[in-house]
Amino acid sequence: MLHSVFGKALRESRRGIAAWAIGIAAVGMMYAAFYPSMADPAMAEALRAFPPELLEALNMGDLTSPAGYLEGSTFGLLGPLMMIIFATVLGSRAIAGDEEDGRLDVLLAHPVERWSVVVQRGLAMVVALATAGLVLIVGLVAISGPAQLTEIGAANLAATTVQLVLLACVFGSLALGVGALTGSRGAAIGAVAVIGVLTYLAHTVLPDVSGFEWAENLSPFFYYLGGRPLVNGLQVVDSLVLATTAVVLVAIGVIGFVRRDIAV
Amino acid sequence: MSAVIETNQLTKSYGSRRGLAGLDLEVRPGEVFGFLGPNGAGKTTTIRILVDLIRPTSGTATVFGTEPRAGGAALRARIGYLPGDFVVNGNQSADELLTHLGHLRGRVPHERIRTLAHRLGLDLHVRIRSLSKGNRQKVGIIQAFMHEPELLILDEPTSGLDPLLQQTFLDLVREAKANGQAVLMSSHVLSEVQQAADRVGIIRDGRMVEVEAVESLRRRAVRRVEIHFGEPVSADAFTGLDGVTDVRVEDRVLRCRLAGRADPLVKAAARYPVESLVVAEPDLEELFLTYYRADTEPEATDAA
């Protein structure tokens, strides 16, 4: 286990994982700490000056309740953004990055199957993202008292973070899958950037565009926050949709990877 | 017993560029095979097919009777492979890397890693990033040899090694051979493999142009000959002799190249008073170059 491809991947990125986990939790906590000033009635008054569609598009439809505030801040924008970037770094490096650096030859000439390398490095990515999620939960629970967010409860904070980790897994798997399929780190990152922006818009803007409401169902962001886990707890079906999507993306990558040539 | 490595009309195309154009290669059990050719001739392409990093466009390749792709991890367990460009994560010590790779191969005794490192003079505890190119190559050599595989596939193994280490490396190859292991090693310099190889194959433009035992290659090899005479001689007396080329005469000194038997040249020289005679060690490089020169002929350079 410790000396497997999985264990090696985790050990080699342990410092990066620690740095990202602390960074993401710190940003999440800082954001959360601003809630008391947002709950001020004067702020609610000020926000009325903005068009509701704009606030909705930024996940800021209801900034004055604890759950609404976190949906617009920690879990609405910077949280997913940082988690997705972290996942993309891990996913694009796992196969494509190593291949571009010429590091795959030595490993793949060893008695380890190619599919297994993709799967083990994918699992290492999941563990890294889950670690960041765990640190985030601890941080948010710790700050929820001083930040007057206790009405959400630790369970729902944890549930939402789980769904955030699953969202990150989808984009990390997209980067891993495209990277395994193409061997190009640029293609892997590009795929996340394009699909990330499109599906984010599909969740935030398209529901307001008549004739395009259906597009929301294709967006991972819909399955992440659409069921309001901060209010309603863990959304099992949404979580399964995200997890299945991630698995399918990795599987597509594996199918391509075992068939193609490894670049020099 | 059948061949350890056998390729039949092996072809690999990269788009319009052709990497291999019908290569036939056979490596027999227990032999050391030197795989020679200029850069870009297809040595690395062949080797990477054998360890299943790339797949042939057509033709067949088998290792221990199995196609590399079908053989999978079980087949690769029997091979030690040194890539032409040994690149690993530099942010770890050689010890960490080799221990990890040893685990992937099952149990490789750490003692074996230490012994090899000691013989090659490698400090296992230095970060790979801060190792010189030669020292990095040692790490690559150790990972190829450490599990005592039945077959060693080494792509340009001596690149970056100083002459003393090249000898240590050749000792390792000879020991592997004595141990019954087969070795395929590539190089673009013949002198690097002629000491250890039983047979040599020369590849050019993706085809094997010649396979020969090193011994007979040596016999056919071109030698530089220099004869000092007691009186001025004429070049005409030596030009056109069987096996003699590049005849140059300066007053009393004859310089020429000699391939094959020395008899005609010696008989011709014997007609004059010979003061001294110098025959350089057979320069296989010279023979080697005659294969390369065909490279410049127009039909061969056409990128089909």
For residue A51, give every residue at least 6 positions away whose Cβ sits within 8 Å of its Cβ, in sequence order, or none: none
pTM: predicted TM-score of the whole model, two decimal places = 0.86
pLDDT of residue B290: 65
Inform me whether the C-beta atom of residue A106 falls under 8 Å from chain B C-beta atoms. yes
pLDDT of residue B298: 43
pLDDT of residue A92: 97
Q: What is the DSSP letter of A210?
A: T
Residue ranges of chain A whose pLDDT lies below 70:
1-2, 57-61
pLDDT of residue B301: 39
CA distance A70 to A33: 10
pLDDT of residue B300: 38
Inform me whether the C-beta atom of residue A258 falls under 8 Å from chain B C-beta atoms. no
In the block, which residue shows the tokens 């079908």? B70
Inform me whether the C-beta atom of residue A261 falls under 8 Å from chain B C-beta atoms. yes
| A101 interaction partners in chain B (CB closer than 8 Å) | 87
Q: Answer whether A262 sits within 8 Å of B48, measured CB to CB.
A: yes
Inform me whether the C-beta atom of residue A256 falls under 8 Å from chain B C-beta atoms. no
Residue of A nearest to B140 (CA): A106
**How is residue A158 written in tokens?**
């944890």
pLDDT of residue A237: 96
| B76 interaction partners in chain A (CB closer than 8 Å) | 109-111
CA distance A133 to A127: 10
Inform me whether the C-beta atom of residue A208 falls under 8 Å from chain B C-beta atoms. no
**Element housing A251 (H / E):** helix A236-259
CA distance B35 to B192: 11
Q: What is the DSSP letter of A39?
A: S
CA distance A1 to chain B (A): 10
Return the amino acid letter for A101: D
CA distance A85 to A89: 6
Return the amino acid letter for B219: R
| A3 interaction partners in chain B (CB closer than 8 Å) | 99-100, 103-104
CA distance B266 to B251: 19
Q: Answer whether B87 sits within 8 Å of A8, measured CB to CB.
A: no
Q: Answer whether A106 sits within 8 Å of B99, measured CB to CB.
A: no
**How is residue A90 written in tokens?**
């891990």
- How many C-beta atoms lie closer than 10 Å to residue B136's C-beta? 19
CA distance A103 to B92: 13
Inform me whether the C-beta atom of residue A228 falls under 8 Å from chain B C-beta atoms. no
pLDDT of residue B282: 67
CA distance A13 to A98: 13
Task: Select from B89, B91, B104 the Cβ nearest to the Cβ of A110.
Answer: B104
The answer to whether the CB of B186 falls within 8 A of the CB of B155 is: yes
**CB burial class (10 A; 0-12, 13-18, 19+) of residue B272?**
middle
Q: Along the 304 residues of chain B, how does pLDDT read in single tens digits?
A: 589 999 999 999 987 777 899 999 999 999 999 998 888 889 999 999 999 999 999 999 999 999 999 999 999 999 999 999 999 999 999 999 999 999 999 879 999 999 999 999 999 999 999 999 999 999 999 999 999 999 999 999 998 888 899 999 999 999 999 999 999 999 887 777 888 899 999 898 899 988 988 888 777 777 889 999 999 998 888 998 888 988 999 989 999 988 878 899 999 999 999 999 998 866 566 666 666 665 544 443 333 3
pLDDT of residue B280: 81
CA distance A85 to chain B (A): 22
pLDDT of residue B219: 74
Q: Answer whether A111 sits within 8 Å of B76, measured CB to CB.
A: yes
CA distance A178 to chain B (A): 19
pLDDT of residue A126: 98
CA distance A233 to chain B (A): 42
| Helix-strand-coil split of chain A, %, nearest 5 | 80, 0, 20
Task: Select from A102, A110, A264 the Cβ nearest to the Cβ of B76.
Answer: A110
Q: Answer whether B87 sits within 8 Å of A261, measured CB to CB.
A: no
Report CA torsion sign: A61, A64, A68, A72. positive
CA distance A166 to B143: 38
Q: Answer whether A264 sits within 8 Å of B72, measured CB to CB.
A: no
